[in-house]
Structure 1
């Protein structure tokens, strides 16, 4: 992982109008950076806003407020067709559901080659075919699969096709939006290992969105924990697991099962109660130890520091 910031999120908000008066603050003031070559894990329970964050970054949604800087340029400010086309080539997305994210009426050849065609990355049909064959081999499939349709594949194979489609335009940054949640446990590790292998080979940078903390730890360099549209904790992967500070992070970690019957029998689940927080002031993101940030008030900040010392 380099020290070059590839993506900078500054005060990002995504609010949705529900009816005439109600507003859902799906993303409410996020701030974080992603460095070139790293995997940044974004975790939280369903409905916390993590998938909305990914979709706003890649401009499937227009942000309500804030900035998304990709390689120093504001993504939200890109309006011309040529600017958007260039941006879409540099940033791709792997979607959660490998069943609905592939067009059932298109062959694998056309699904993977769609990006090549749009961006004019191949000169003729022979080169197009060769590139698709190469991509299929890269993700662990073979060229015979090119003439088939999505319904002829298993869930794990379809997700590999989704990865091949994302790789086709040779992006620098990939948003993986819960790419393994719809897959069998036996297949999940295969897909994650493939992503790690591709990152090492191609120098990719990932935003890995998931709710499975054990898998996020395995693939991520740093992890951000989201709760109701806000980032409540951010730290290096090992640091977050060894020294969780925010009560919500502790509750998530306490829910991870381990293949140890004795541990499971005596495991204590920690329930998170947001009403127990200090309400005397608006919480801020503060660094409680080097590169370990927590959303807290001044009073909570002092308590967390004392807890770490003890």
Structure 2
């Protein structure tokens, strides 16, 4: 088996808001995982579980409370010079959830897309700058003439394509897509996801795809991580996770996916996750454990043995 090359490494990452105060929120609570070059890692969970905060902390929109993030072996949150930060920001880009709020309404599309090109000096002159913008528009399925229009002249799906073009403009290696389809009509969502898959192949991109739509995450992701209240509770390949969910919370999430069949929907029984089913002794060692090859579950030693007995027969 070919050894996979790590692009992003997250080690014991913590993001606490109002740290040290009674109102402290543990948005990310000691999570660790890797993202390999050329793959799409899906990150799922219900609203408020910390998945978007994870993406923003990885890219350093938030400074981590504790833990480490490595990109190509370099510490993202370590002290960096302006030149190092600028280079890092070119290699790692983000596509935001709201295509309406993420584009400056006062700027033409050409200037929105070319912002990164200007900052990093990637154009030889004005003609080259416009040529790059027009090429990017065509790459994401828009027309060259759209460069001279304003954001309000576009639909939600078109605006998200513009956001994708803006991210691609600086030729990144890694893109964090933070719920990029949640604000779009269902008919448009598949188009955007198919575009992302096509661009990944053409440009050799690596994605962290954050979403709560489990069916869409399965379609685009190679591996999937499940978050619950700031914790990563399960991590496995997309196919394995859907066929054999182990953590009770993952089972609950998957049981909520609607089936395109009225009869199946009538008889479907949803599993409700109750966190109180876990009985832990004080000071018990809870961690991600490999229940099956490349299938990790957050559990105690006792639960680990139970999961192995049930799921490795």
8 Å CA contact 2:15–2:65 kept in 1: the answer is: yes
Question: Counterparts of 1:268-279 in structure 2 under 5 Å?
Answer: 268-279=269-280
Alpha-carbon shift at residue 262 of structure 1 (Å): 1.5
Tell me the TM-score normalized by structure 2.
0.97
TM-score of the two chains, using structure 1 as the length reference: 0.98
Query: 1:300 is matched with which residue?
Result: 303
Q: Which residue of 2 aligns with 1:150?
A: 151
Q: Equivalent residue for 1:45?
A: 46
Deviation by residue 1:8-56 (Cα, 9 ceiling, x = unmatched): 0000000000794321000011100000000000000000000000000
Residue 133 (1) aligns with residue 120 (2): no
* Higher mean displacement: 296-305 or 151-160: 296-305
* 2:310 counterpart SS class: helix
- Partners in 2 of 1:16 and 1:271 — Cα distance? 29
Equivalences for residues 229-268 of structure 1 within 5 A: 229-268=230-269
Deviation at 1:260, TM superposition (A): 1.1
The answer on whether the counterparts of 1:78 and 1:84 sit within 8 Å (CA) in structure 2 is no
Contact persistence 1:2–1:36 (CA under 8 A): no
Deviation at 1:278, TM superposition (A): 2.1
SS across alignment from 2:111: helix
CA deviation after TM superposition for structure 1 residue 279, in Å: 1.0
Write the deviation string for residues 225-284 of structure 1: whole angstroms up to 9, x where unpaired: 000001000000000000000000000000001111121111010000001102122321
CA-based RMSD of the aligned residues comes to 1.2
The 8 Å contact of residues 43 and 224 in structure 1, kept in 2 or not, is answered as: yes
Match of 1:103 in 2: 104
Q: Say if 1:111 and 1:2 are closer, same or farther in 2 by CA, change over 3 A.
A: farther
For structure 1, the 5+ residue unaligned runs are none
Give 1:90's aligned residue.
91
CA distance, structure 1, for counterparts of residue 130 and residue 21 of structure 2: 51
Q: Secondary structure at the match of 1:22?
A: coil
Name the CA shift for 1:307/1:19 in 2 (closer, same or farther; >3 Å): closer
Q: Secondary structure at the match of 2:64?
A: coil
How far apart, CA to CA, are the structure 2 residues paired with 1:179 and 1:78? 30
CA distance in 2, matches of 1:258, 1:148: 41
Compute the displacement of 1:85 (Å). Answer: 0.2
